[in-house]
Amino acid sequence: MKFLETFDSYRVEHCLRLCQEYGIVDAAAFLLERVGDAGSALSLTLSGLNEKYVELEIAVECLMSEMKLGASEGASLEHFSSALELKEVRTYL
């Protein structure tokens, strides 16, 4: 993505095809927007959100289950820190 944002001497259509083929959503959306197809760029970006929300929900549910098993007074800050360390959460920070 950094390369695509920094340089402009590449074949957009070729790069777009490669990004779509390999599932590089952010770069594909960037390139779609660059060729003037903002609607498809937004659609592509939003299409993956549901999957990410499901992953996040599962991870938080697992953490909550662990918290119930080892519940103690004053542990809420520790559990909050644990939630921030989830890979599903770190992706968005």
Q: pLDDT for 14-23, tens place per residue?
A: 999 999 999 9
Q: Return the domain boundaries, the chain.
A: 2-47, 50-90
Which residues are CB-neighbours of 56 under 8 A, at least 6 positions away? 86, 88, 89
Q: pLDDT for 32-62, tens place per residue?
A: 999 999 999 999 988 878 778 888 888 878 8
Q: Are 29 and 68 in contact (CB under 8 A)?
A: no
DSSP element (H, E) containing 28: helix 25-34
- Which long-range contacts (C-beta less than 8 Å, at least 24 apart) are formed by 71-76? none
pTM above 0.85, yes or no: no
